[in-house]
Every structure is written in structure tokens, then in C-alpha cells.
Amino acid sequence: MNKILKAHIALATVAIIYGANYVIAKEVMSSGLISPQAFIMIRVSSATILLWITHAVFYSEKLSRSDLPYAVLCALLGITINQLCFFKGLQLTSPMHASLIMITVPMIVLAASLIVLKIKVTLKQLIGVILGLIGAGLLISSAGVSDKLSSLEGDLYIFVNATSYAFYIILVRKLMAKYQALTVLKWLFLFGSFMVMPFGLSDMLAIDYPAFSRVHWWGIAYVILFTTYAAYLLNGYAISRVRPATVGFYIYFQPLIASIVSISMGQDSLDLLKLQSAILLFAGVYLVTKR
């Protein structure tokens, strides 16, 4: 099996993991027993331990001291801002809204590539970005008005999360091309743990852990082992082998998975406005990513 095909399989697996995560993480936080900040503190610190142990077993590669400041920037975008905004947004809005807004990532990746990598943008791609922004705008404007399961504040948190993740995809590729994905990720999560600590440490220490049910523990385990540890490793592997736009492209499979799971569990519902927004978003992503 060639490396490009393996990268696509990795990205498809990540899309499935993240698609289910919208509902699983929302279910854990809806209990009120754990705040988004505490959840992120548990998630990042646990993943850091797992990544450092795994790296010690399989690799001896070290990150150059000159690359550490760049790694801090990637950790800020890909770990701290990304995860804090995602979980806070998911607490306040619906899984379907969150997953649909996240498919603006390929369009933001295009804009970020224009700024960072100085790539040329075609008229077709520009039209795609405009369609996508209209779709996202329709969705966000309906939050808390026509859709009582969502909120404007929550949708905006998710949009900030999508923006930080898009820039992370662009910037981290430089490190992924130079080092093993595991070498990069263990440092990103270590730096991320320290940056998340001021927001989540006190909340994490205040949690009433005995009050957690088995469902809560399974949900937390899923977020740590799959959404964080496995997904970041698979994404890191793929980022080093395919274009950033290709990585962003797989994000638009997530709403389908998230919608199926959330509707079946009664966490969300499908209406005409969401369908219209989805059509505009998918059309925008298609035009942006089509060669």
C-alpha cells in the first residue's frame, strides 16, 4: 500500500472519530459535572503522557532547540485555542451546527495558504469561499433564533476553533516534514498542557469524580484515546504526506457522521435552514478543493 493511500485512509478514520466526537463530548458536558476547561485539561495532559511514553518506546528522535519557538506557536493554534474554543462552543451549541461550521476549514486553509504560502487563488476558489461564508453566516445567524438547540456565542467559538485549526494545518506541516509526527506531537501537547493549565487546572481539581457514571468515563476515555491521541497521530501522519487542502477536504465528511449520530440520539434535528446552509457550505468546499 503506497504512502498517499495510507494518508487518505488515516484522514477518513479521523473524520469518523471526529464526527462521533461532537455527540460524545456534548453528552459528557451536558451532565454539568465537568466544564469545557476541565475537560480540555484532562484531555491534553492525559494525551501528553501517552505521547511521551509512546515516543520513548519507538523513537529516540529529538526536536531541534531552534524549532521549539515554532512548535510553541503550533501548540497555541492546534492545541490551546483550537481545543478550548471547540469544547466551549460545543457546550453552547448543537452538534450539527458545530460540525457544519467546521467545514469552513478548507476555505480558511485556502485563505491562510494565500497569506502564509503565497499561493495563487482562482476565480472558482474565490466563488467557493464566498458561498461557504454565506452558508456559515446563515447558520450562525439562526443560532438561538430559529434553532433553539444552538447559540450565537457557541457558533462563534466553533468558528474561532475552525480558524485556529486551519492555520495549524498550514504551519505544522513544516515540522511534520522534518520530524516524525510523534516527535512533533509530544512537544506540541507538552507546550499545550502548560498553556491550558491557567484555564482548566482549578476546574479539573474541583470535579466531583465519584459522581461520574460509566457513560461519562467511557466518553472521557473516547475523547482521550481516539479524538486526541489517535486522531492527532493519524492527522500528523497525513499532513506530512498530502497537501493542507486535502487534509481540510476530509473535514466535510464530519457533519454527515455527526448528524446521523446526533439525530439518532435525539440531540439535534434537521430543518430547511440547516439543509440550505449545508448545500452552500458543501458547494463552497467543492469549488475550493477541486483541482
d(CA 251, CA 238): 13
Which has more pLDDT, 262 or 194? Answer: 194
Which has more pLDDT, 270 or 243? Answer: 243
Q: What are phi and psi of 61, to 5 degrees?
A: -65, 140
Q: Please give the residue range of the domain that contains residue 176.
A: 3-289
Grid coordinates given for 124? 472558482
Instruction: Report residue 123's pLDDT band, with 50, 70 and 90 as the boundaries.
Output: confident
Concatenated DSSP letters of 242-260: S-HHHHHHGGGGHHHHHHH
Question: What does each C-alpha distance from 253 to 25, 97, 268 come to in angstroms?
Answer: 18, 14, 18
Residue 221's SS3 state is helix
Do 29 and 39 touch, CB atoms closer than 8 A?
yes
Range 110-121 average pLDDT? 69
The predicted-structure confidence for 149-196, as pLDDT tens digits, reads as follows 567 788 889 889 888 988 888 888 889 889 988 999 999 999 999 999
d(CA 131, CA 114): 18
- pLDDT for the residue 77: 94
The predicted-structure confidence for 25-77, as pLDDT tens digits, reads as follows 888 888 788 998 999 999 999 999 999 999 999 888 999 999 999 999 999 99
d(CA 229, CA 185): 9
How many structural domains comprise the chain? 1
Write the DSSP symbol of residue 211. G
Helix H or strand E segment including 269: none
The predicted-structure confidence for 264-277, as pLDDT tens digits, reads as follows 666 566 667 667 76
For the chain, the residue count is 291
Do 172 and 78 touch, CB atoms closer than 8 A?
yes
